[in-house]
Structures are given as structure tokens and as C-alpha cells.
Amino acid sequence: MTTIKLHNTRTRTKEEFVPIDPRNVRMYVCGPTVYDRAHLGNARPVVVFDVLYRLLRHVYGADHVTYVRNFTDVDDKINARAAESGRPIGDITAETTQWFLDDMGALGALEPDHMPRATEYIPQMVAMIESLIAKGHAYAAEGHVLFAVDSWKEHYGKLSGRSVDDMIAGARVEVAPYKKNPMDFVLWKPSTPDLPGWDSPWGRGRPGWHIECSAMSFELLGESFDIHGGGNDLMFPHHENEIAQSCCAHPEGRFANVWLHNEMLQVEGKKMSKSLGNFFTVRDLLDQGIPGEVIRFVFLSTHYRKPMDWTAEKAAEAARTLRKWRALTVGVEPAASAAPAVLEALSDDLNTAGAITEMHRLASGGKSAELLVAAQMLGLLTNELGDWTERDGIILDALTQKLTEVRERALETKDFAELDRLKALFVEAGVSVQMGKDGITLAAGPEVDLKTLEALK
């Protein structure tokens, strides 16, 4: 069997992955808070852990892997969006949840086996909080329930590598008179009549963010499971707090054995920010005519533990590569198994960049069947993504017909102004134009602007 090695954030070493139960390999990944469109940075962990999901299914069998990714549908950001827009919270969360699924599907991400919504697990959260209070790890105060960090001080901070005292000195924590320790975090908080709320032993209220994932992962994966993933911005406090409350509520378990964190995303060498004008959503790119497969390829061209820089140049290069690979694999049946070098790269801490290097070698060697099966292991060249290069052909066929009609009129009237204007627009949009006795031939270049061309049809 293929040996998978993964970099465990908790131990800070690359380890051989040994599942608790090879017949049921279990993975939990923190999902989105559904109040708006997913921005490009939100999509990176989705693609990263989709590749890991595909690899685990390849090694252990599709029926022996359970992947859970949650939706946070109760949160102060959602409440604020409802107050701003005047729309019901349920309408906002339902709409944005579907947006997320549609946009991630456009990037070729498989849907997880379970996609729990936090509001469906409130009773389990209340039960876990009651257990933490009973075990002396939490306390109620002024309608709130807080986790007592001092009750687990010896272990708290092991994931992020910081002591509680260091965290207090360096962190911006919510100051509240009912906290026994500034680092204590909220498990339950009161709700006013205008906010979502549920009955509980501590009054009408709603859960804190961190308890959601602990309760859902326990219900769906048990007190111990194999892999927990997410962006490295979640390492502290979210994942640190998950570990504390889960291990204290269920001391018989280990919670997650392996922790994986992907690095953040930049745009043209800078942190993505609305103030810099380089902030955009996945849907923004899709609406600009950039295929989801191209976005996915750019993500996978950088190792998940390195910062990823999105640039227009990388997107254009990805489109060039994928056009070539799609042309090479038209009508080809995928090989029975992946090339060993590709599988070896993926099994070495998800070295997708290394796998792509090997795929370039397969393409250069004319090994189309091997290229196709390797690409599909990375979620590329799949039927689900569709052949977006066919769209190029449909658009170019329509434009060829249009230009042919304009040319015929120009030959009759001897007025070539419109023909020259259109030809210049096509060339500017990345299409080569050849005119001869046998007619007109248009060919999409590597940086074709399909959105502009579609408007010219």
C-alpha cells in the first residue's frame, strides 16, 4: 500500500500517516461562515483538502474515507449582515451556503460526505458544555458560559507553540468582568430577542464559535479521528480552543491525531485587501471568464504550506498548460493506475507542485493516458469540470461566421473599415486571424480574453 506522509502541525514534523482504522479514515475541515461570497483565500483550503480527500480515497478506497466540512450558520457576522440588509437570517445563510457549494464545485471540489450546519447541532453543543461544567473545565457567569483555560493550562497552547502567559501578554483578548482569566473563551452567550437564540440551562442564547466544530466532529467522527485541517489563521485561537474543549469533554479520546494547516494567499505579491483594491471572490474570477480549472491549477502549483501568490501571469500560464493537456487527452481513456512518480509526489505531504512537474514530463513524452489519470487525481481534466476549451470553439465559430459576413459585405462595398475594426478587436483579445481564399480561420492564443470575445458575438 502507498505510504502517505503528512506534516503534523502539532508535532512540527513530517510523519507517516497511520489511520486509526484503515476501514474508516476520518477527516474534519473547518468550513465557511455563510454570510457572503467566498473570497479567493477561502477557496484555498477547500482545494487543498479536496486533493487530500482524493488521495485518501485512492489509497484506502472511496467507501473507507469519511470527510466532514461544516457550515457555520450562526454567527455575529451573519447577524450583522441581516441587520444591514433587513433580510431574514435563514434566507441569507441558505443563499450563501448554496453560493459556496456552487463556487467550490466550479473549482472541481468534491462535496464532503457530511456537511453539517451548526444550527442542526445545538442540543449536542449544550450537552458538551454541560459536561465541561460538570468536569470543572467551564463555568457560568452572567448568562455566559466560559471555558476555564487554567483548568487545562499544562496542555493549552501546544498546537500553536505558545504558553498561556505568552498568549495573555501578546494577544488581543476580549476583556469582560465575568472572566476569571483573560484567555477564557465563550462557549455560550445570551441572545437578545432580536438575535437567534435557543433555550439552555443558562437562559436563551447561542453557542460560541469554537464549540460548534467540537460538537459536530464528535457526533460525526467520534472522540478520536485521523486528520483535522484548515487555514493557518485558524490555528489560534480556533483550533487551540477546539482541542482544549474536546479533550476535556472526552478525555478518553485524542480528538485529532494529525493537524494540517495551509498557508495564506496573496495577490500579485501583496496581502489581499479591499483597501488595496486586490480583493475578489471566486465568483468574480469565474464571471471574468477565468475557468474554475485554471483557478484550481494555480492553487496546486504551490505547495499548501507555502504562501500562494495569485497573479494574472500564473493564470495565463495555467490556461496555456490546461489547453495543451486537454488537447492531448481528447478521446483518451485514463490509464489503469497513476504514474509512480506522480503518486509519490502527492503522498509526500501533498506535493502538488511536484506532481504537476511529473505531469509535464508525461505530456512531453506523449503519455496521454498516464497524464489523464494523474490529472484526475488532482481534480483536473475531470468530466465534472467540463471541457471549457469547447466553449472557446463555440465562441470562435460564432465569431468566424460574423467576420465572414462582414468580409463579404466589405468585398461588395469596398469599405473595409468595419472588417479592420473587428479584426483589430479580435487580435487585441488574444485571437489570431488568418484570411485567405478558403475563408477565415480564428485561433485562440494562450491569453485569450473570452469575456470580451463573447460580447462581440
Q: Report pLDDT digits (tens) over 372-430.
A: 999 999 999 998 887 777 666 677 788 888 899 999 999 999 999 999 998 998 888 88
Mean pLDDT is lowest, of 47-51, 99-103, 173-177, 431-435, for 173-177
pTM listed for this prediction: 0.88
- Whether cis (ω within 30° of 0) applies to the bond prior to 237 is yes
Residue 442's pLDDT is what?
83
The stretch 209-227 carries a mean pLDDT of 97
The stretch 200-228 carries a mean pLDDT of 97
Query: Is 453 a residue whose pLDDT tops 80?
Result: no
What fold characterizes domain 5-262?
A: Rossmann fold (3.40.50)
Which SS3 state, helix, strand or coil, does residue 162 take?
A: coil
Q: Which residue has the higher pLDDT, 214 or 324?
A: 214
Q: Residues 11-46: pLDDT tens digits?
A: 999 999 999 999 999 999 999 999 999 999 999 999
Which amino acid would we find at residue 317?
E
Residue 380's pLDDT is what?
97
Residue 70's pLDDT is what?
98
CATH 3.40.50.620 domain residues, the chain: 5-262
DSSP H/E element including 188: strand 185-190
Percent of the chain with pLDDT over 70: 95
d(CA 440, CA 428): 17
Query: Is 169 a residue whose pLDDT tops 60?
Result: no
Which SS3 state, helix, strand or coil, does residue 44 take?
A: helix
Which DSSP letter does residue 256 get? E
The stretch 235-250 carries a mean pLDDT of 96
The mean predicted confidence, pLDDT, of the chain is 92
Cell numbers placing 399? 465569431
d(CA 456, CA 429): 10
Q: Which residue has the higher pLDDT, 123 or 401?
A: 123
Q: Residue 447 — pLDDT band, cuts 50, 70, 90? A: low
Q: How far is CA 183 from the centre of its chain?
A: 30
- Residue closest to 429 by CA, chosen among 415, 413, 448: 448
Query: Is 172 a residue whose pLDDT tops 60?
Result: no
d(CA 406, CA 302): 46
Residue 100's pLDDT is what?
98
d(CA 287, CA 264): 23
In the beta sheet, which residues pair with residue 7? 14
